[in-house]
Amino acid sequence: MAGGSQETGSLASLGRRSGATPPALLVLAAIGLALVALPLVGLALRTPWSRLGQILGSEAALTALRLSLVVSIAAAAIGLLVGFPLAWMLARSRFRGRTLVRGLVLLPLVMPPVVGGVALLTAFGRSGILGRPLYEAFGFQITFTTWAAILASTFVSFPLIVLVLEAGIRSINERLEQAAATMGASRWYVIRRVTLPMLGPQLVAGAVLAWARALGEFGATITFAGNLRGRTQTVPLAVFQFLQTDPEGAVALSLLLVAVALFVIVALRARFLSTS
Amino acid sequence: MSLGVDVRARRGTFVVEAAFRAEPGHTLALLGPNGAGKSTLVDVLAGLLQPDAGSVTLEGITLDDVAGGVHAEPEARPVGVVFQGLLLFPHLSAVENVAFPLRARGIARPEARRRATGLLTDLGLADRASARPRDLSGGEAQRVALARALVAEPRLLLLDEPLSALDVRARTQTRALLRSTLAEFPGVRLLVTHDPVEAMTLADRMVLLEDGRVTQAGTAQEIRAAPRTRYAADLIGVNFFEGRLERLDAGAGRIAAAAGDIIVAWPENVEAGGESAIGILRPADVILHVARPEGSARNVLRGAVSQIAIEGERARVHVESSPPIVAEVTLASVERLGLREGTDVWASFKAFEVRVLAP
């Protein structure tokens, strides 16, 4: 008897396993999908398609677009420049406090961008710990310049590069680098001729991710760099301003950013994320 | 002018202690089972692992001297290594791989490529120069790795399991090539392997490493004549019996080994019995029969064939008798007797074929 009921029990669970998704899960999943899809549908429906060319071609939009490109590319480039050495140290050298350093580097990824902007002000603002001596010595003020926008974007995006590159460096067989050393290669030569070339996919993936994050950066930028057209007003900041004067313009610019995001996801999934 | 090694090195909790010398123009095999510490010693010689104690000298130059605080970095050592698994750079072509040690030492690209191409041509790889490692066959990759180890004209050539990644056919070809290449290399040649055939065919002398210790050193003949450990006997391919020596009748005795008894000729230099002794029997002296033999051989052991290992025209047949016996017979005999794994056979050998080493 006991054996019989056990059997029906296991059969029942077998049937459940091979069956369709439980209704409750299905409903919740549908709500989740709608949460993402509805705003996108709304955006597409409210887009002034007839005026799209005119809005995106306007002086304000073009200026913001140009600035966004400069800022995001600069942020990705600086991110690579300082991100690779950090990733290399985290992956390859053993030092005290490595876990602490990794946590610190990843912090900008998790903390609210506005807080990042405030923190940047306390460091590089006119009365900041580095900003004040800089201003007093050279009369140079970072805040409210394009440099500030670049700095804010770099701050929030470079952890992505460190994350991707550290995983990439760890996936390279360390014996290859050791073998190179036995062939007379200095450490720097090994990095240049072995480590970096083998990191190709991760360098691209990290740069694209960081670039996309920098392109969408808003909170830290508006806090630290302000919203000045032609200097610090990137596309997201322009969207924010358009929203008060020309809501249709805001929608049009938003659509552009969604298109870029979509492109990044498709490009990364097809070419890098699946293979790395 | 030679390689002198006398070190203690540690990797994790594993400690290797080894002392040996190797002469230029000769090939020394470092032979031992997996986990004996061979790769640890390779890393010490290549400079990748700093020893805990002792010294390494090469042609009068001190590479390591722990007491004296000397440690030459890997890039400063005149050492060429063929690594286990080869470690070719996957993003570089064959010729770029071979040119790497020259480029790393600051030699201009055209000159480096010219020398690398020349070496690849010597090794029969002229038409594969631009291939990436993943497109090379096992034997080709092996030759590229060899060329890369030789191109900067090192004073010490380290070969770590150079044939282990190859299939049987490529192994035979590459072994022949390795032999001629080793013969031409003027410096110290050190072959690290777990394969006794590799060691015996390529090396002049061998050092046996077991569990982080050198257990024996000498030529293959010396070791075959008097293996000091069970492992040495297995490696070098002789039957090895260890047990108490007991007197039987006139001129004969018995080695009472744990796995079974063996009848031997009484050694002249031994008076009384009761001592522990080692009996060594060459596999080629064992005769296999499919029916119980009637003859003069005093040792007749019965058992099932557990393994048949073929090496060229000869086969080494393992018989699960008590004690277990390895016989070396021709392939023709294997076929004529219909030997397979599981076949019931008798192994016979004369008492005086067993060499007795009494302590």
User: Collapsing DSSP states into helix, strand and coil, what is residue B63?
Assistant: strand
Provide the residue-wise pLDDT of chain B in tens; the chain has 359 residues.
699 999 999 998 899 999 999 999 999 999 998 889 999 999 999 999 999 999 999 998 999 999 999 999 999 999 999 999 899 999 999 999 999 999 999 999 999 999 999 999 999 899 999 999 999 998 899 999 999 999 999 999 999 998 887 876 777 778 778 888 888 899 999 999 988 777 877 888 999 999 999 999 998 778 866 778 878 877 777 787 888 888 888 788 999 888 889 999 988 767 777 777 878 888 889 999 999 998 888 999 999 998 887 767 888 888 999 898 989 899 999 999 999 999 999 999 999 999 887 65
Q: Which residue matches tokens 């709304």?
A: A42
User: Which structure tokens are listed for B243?
Assistant: 């047990």
d(CA B256, CA B237): 21
Instruction: Show the domains of chain B with their CATH numbers.
Output: 3-230 (3.40.50.300), 238-357 (2.40.50.100)
Q: Which tens digits make up the pLDDT trace of A94-138?
A: 888 899 999 999 999 999 999 999 999 999 988 888 888 888 888
- d(CA B190, CA B23) in angstroms, rounded, equals 10
Which residue from B231, B246, B251, B325 is spatially nearest to B282, judged by alpha carbons? B325
Give the type of residue at A223. Answer: T
Q: Single out the residue of B189, B214, B186 nearest to residue B20, CA to CA.
A: B214
Contact status of A212 with chain B (Cβ, < 8 Å) = no
Regarding beta strands B239-247 and B252-257, do their DSSP bridges make them parallel or antiparallel, or are they unpaired? antiparallel
Residue B271: what pLDDT?
73
Kindly list the residues from chain B whose CB atom is less than 8 angstroms away from the CB atom of residue A197: 91
Look at residue B276 and give its three-state secondary structure: strand
Q: Residue A274 — very low, low, confident or very high, per pLDDT cuts 50/70/90? A: low
- CB–CB contact B100 A176 (8 Å): no
Find residues 153-192 of chain A whose CB sits inside 8 Å of chain B.
173, 175-176, 178-186, 189
State ipTM: 0.74
* Pair of tokens at residue B62: 């001190």
* Residue-level pLDDT at A181: 95
> For residue B81, what pLDDT is reported?
95
Across A249-263, average pLDDT: 87
Global pTM reads: 0.74
How high is the pLDDT of residue A248?
86
Contact (Cβ atoms closer than 8 angstroms) between residue B198 and residue B167: no
Inter-chain touch B87–A185, beta carbons under 8 Å:
no
- The yes-or-no verdict on residue A6 having pLDDT over 70 is no
The predicted pLDDT at position A1 comes to: 39
pLDDT at B356: 83
Q: Domains, chain A, ranges and CATH?
A: 68-234 (1.10.3720.10)
Q: What residue of A is the nearest CA neighbor of B96?
A: A193
Question: Do B152 and A179 count as a contact with CB atoms less than 8 A apart?
Answer: no
**What is the average pLDDT score of chain A?**
86
Contact call for B89 and A189, based on CB within 8 A: no
